[in-house]
A and B are shown apart, each in its own frame.
Chain A
Amino acid sequence: MAVEHSHPTGAEAAAHEAHAEDHHPTWKTYKWVALILFVITVAEVWAYYIPALVASRAFVPSLLIMSVAKFAIVVLFYMHLKYDARLFRALFYGPLAIAVITVVALLFLFGQISLTS
């Protein structure tokens, strides 16, 4: 992001953060990201229609891994969090971590997932 003012001496961290905002992915990156997202989505739906895979223990973990990969790719590249300031990352990853931990805790609490088979 272009900044109108010059940073005061001793504000290297802020300058670094502002400089970090100047970098966005390239066109090529965006096209690859779209292709990867499409391929993962196709793989997810394909997995859904294979009865043997659906019945196996690997089904849910594999779907979760693919979903997390898609989530991460969109956040890192389309939302350009990979290139953005640390404060933005903290504002997103902090609540996200709290939310995920809360969901997992609730699922254990209500018996939807269990460590014992």
Chain B
Amino acid sequence: MATAAIEHHDAPHHHTSTGLDNTKIAVWAFIGSECLFFMSLISTYLIYKGRSLVGPLPHEPWTDPATGQTFKAILNIPVTSASTFVLLMSSLFMVLAHSAVVRSDRKYSKIWLAMTALAGTTFLGFQAFEFTEFVHAGLTLDRNLFGSTFFTLTGFHGAHVTVGVIWLITLLFIDIKRGLGPRDAVNVDICALYWHFVDVVWIAIFTLVYLIQ
């Protein structure tokens, strides 16, 4: 692997008054709006945190006074830690994919794009497993405030990851069909920006939802 600086040889763009690529400006504006979107979901989760009248609860067991049924604390930190690690690694794979595209390294661009998509799919698999476990444990969208806010927040994040995986697979197909090169660097870069943003949102969710009790 080259140790030289990974430079940014994006495709030439037309003259703009800012001297910047309009596509990237649009993507950064979109990411800014996504910050507000996810913060609204996170704030809703935090406002209702600890206000559920019935279980299951995230960090502590709960016994139903009517039936005597006991629900254990529902969050599975080891599983979520593993999925967090996978998503963090996917961000590394993504920068390596972008770097390979910039260098016209077609072999490694395919490998790293495929690895990133695979890591994203693995994360979604963890999330599907987690959601299934929760539903089997009695936590549904309409069970309590925790269930409503948790599924809405992590569900929207999962939907974003799904879009990112589709985007990555599309880039991979283009790479296989005709090859991605420096002229495509902007397109790969905006996909990378989106992917990293999905990663930073999960960094916030992991701490605020899973770790803080």
Contacts and interface: CB of A to CB of B under 8 A. Distances in A.
Contact of B211 (A34, A44, A100): A44
Contact of A100 (B39, B40, B89, B212): B39
B7 interface: yes
B12 A3 contact: yes
Contact of B207 (A26, A49, A64): A64
Interface in A71-91: 71, 74-75, 78-79, 85, 87-88, 91
Contact of A4 (B13, B47, B91, B200): B13
Interface residues of B, number: 64
Interface of B is mostly: helix
Contact of B19 (A17, A30, A79): A17
B150 to A, nearest CB: 16
A102 B85 contact: no
Interface string B191-213: 01100110110011011100111
Contacts of B15: 4-5
Interface of A is mostly: helix
Interface residues of A, number: 60
A44 B96 CA distance: 26
A45 interface: yes
6 contacts: A3-B13, A15-B19, A26-B6, A41-B88, A64-B212, A106-B43
Interface of B: 1-15, 17-21, 24-25, 28-29, 31-33, 35-36, 38-40, 42-43, 46-47, 49, 77, 81, 84-85, 88-89, 91-92, 94-96, 99, 186, 192-193, 196-197, 199-200, 203-204, 206-208, 211-213
Top 6 A-B residue pairs of the complex, sorted by shortest distance between their CB atoms: A14-B19, A99-B39, A4-B12, A95-B32, A67-B207, A91-B28
